[in-house]
């Protein structure tokens, strides 16, 4: 079983736990009340008392089964020395940064910068709630993508040109980000995180050879390094938009939980069942936003599809801004009270 003690029953074939990516944040009015006091998103992430309160807001309102740490995957480039800002209506904006291993902070300095995040986890842990805490980081390739693109991108030309024209530098930076990510995750676990998740949001950009090099290899290193130090800690991987390579991912990395955003074939479902890999997902956030019977029917479809697998109900990506609270409440109640067909 993935979760022990009180949560063991959550992984029976008749009880499915639920949490949402970005469950803590921008769609909640209480989140905006706090953010109005601290305008800087990054400063909010690094304010342990406030970040802990934000992490717990969706638990108080909806009674989700897991607490996801309120932070951001871009704290890593920030800690390495690249200035990061979050601009309303635009998203993350990263300063121009010379991608040279000599032009970044040491791991020791980076972890010191990241230390408030560990304090956030300790504050949550000290609440002694009957919920498991999820810590996280970005996948190395995804983090590098933001560093090269200097923010969000529609076509990702910069990172695709970067890996094509500067393969050695790409490998150097993937290695650097992998190393600091492992240390960052281990510190989160030491602080009290019960599970960790690796968000590789831009995994789907790559061809098979690149996928093996920049997704499989670093994620496997993260998995094996964490398991070497913390064997019992469960790890969730989210290689977004990886449908055509998900079978490779599953067979190369014997992960505990695979978070999916798209279709998972019967063959891969059978493989997960055989290997006792939990499947997490995968309601479209747009359906959560619009609500209605289409949402209700899709929840039912997902519950039935994965009823013979270990399953955590989640979204295929994060909760959208302005998602109606009543829709979130409705899905949580539907999943918690769901009666499976035989």
| CATH fold group of domain 5-336 | TIM Barrel (3.20.20)
Question: Using one digit for the tens of pLDDT, what is the confidence trace for 92-104?
Answer: 999 988 877 678 9
Q: Where are the domains of the chain?
A: 5-336
- Decide: 238 and 204 in contact? Cβ < 8 Å: no
Range from 13-22, 140-149, 331-340 carrying the lowest mean pLDDT: 13-22
CA distance 92 to 70: 16
Task: Write down the pTM of the prediction.
Answer: 0.94
When pLDDT is cut at 50, 70 and 90, the band that residue 1 belongs to is: very low
Comparing CA positions, the residue from 48, 24, 86 lying closest to residue 188 is 48
CA distance 75 to 72: 6
Q: Where are the beta strands (DSSP E) in 51-205?
A: 66-68, 84-87, 91-94, 132-138, 195-200
Question: Using one digit for the tens of pLDDT, what is the confidence trace for 229-248?
Answer: 999 999 999 999 998 999 99
């Amino acid at each position: 079983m993935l979760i022990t003690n009180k949560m063991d029953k959550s992984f029976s074939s008749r009880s499915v736990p639920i949490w949402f990516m970005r469950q803590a944040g921008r769609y909640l009015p209480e989140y905006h009340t706090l953010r109005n006091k601290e305008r800087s998103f990054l400063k909010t992430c690094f304010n342990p008392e406030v970040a802990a309160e934000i992490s717990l807001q969706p638990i108080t309102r909806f009674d989700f089964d897991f607490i996801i740490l309120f932070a951001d995957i871009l704290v890593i480039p920030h800690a390495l020395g690249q200035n990061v800002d979050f601009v309303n209506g635009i998203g993350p904006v990263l300063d121009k940064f010379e991608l040279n291993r000599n032009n970044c902070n040491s791991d020791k300095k980076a972890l010191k910068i990241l230390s408030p995040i560990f304090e956030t986890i300790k504050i949550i842990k000290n609440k002694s709630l009957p919920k498991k805490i999820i810590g996280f980081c970005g996948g190395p390739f995804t983090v590098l993508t933001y560093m090269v693109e200097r923010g969000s991108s529609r076509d990702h030309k910069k990172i695709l040109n970067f890996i094509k024209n500067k393969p050695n530098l790409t490998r150097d930076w993937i290695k650097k980000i992998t190393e600091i990510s492992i240390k960052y995750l281990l510190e989160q676990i030491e602080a009290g995180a019960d599970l960790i998740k690796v968000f590789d949001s831009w995994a789907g950009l790559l061809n098979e050879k690149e996928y093996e090099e920049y997704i499989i290899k670093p994620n496997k290193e993260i998995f094996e390094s964490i398991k070497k130090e913390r064997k019992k800690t469960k790890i969730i991987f989210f290689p977004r938009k990886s449908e055509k390579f998900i079978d490779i991912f599953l067979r190369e990395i014997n992960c505990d939980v695979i978070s999916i955003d798209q279709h998972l074939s019967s063959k891969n479902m059978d493989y997960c069942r055989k290997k006792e890999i939990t499947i997490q997902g995968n309601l479209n956030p747009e359906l959560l936003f619009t609500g209605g019977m289409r949402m209700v029917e899709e929840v039912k479809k997902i519950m039935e599809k994965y009823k013979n697998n270990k399953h955590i109900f989640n979204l295929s990506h994060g909760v959208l801004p302005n998602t109606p609270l009543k829709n979130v409440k409705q899905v949580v109640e539907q999943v918690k009270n769901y009666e499976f067909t035989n």
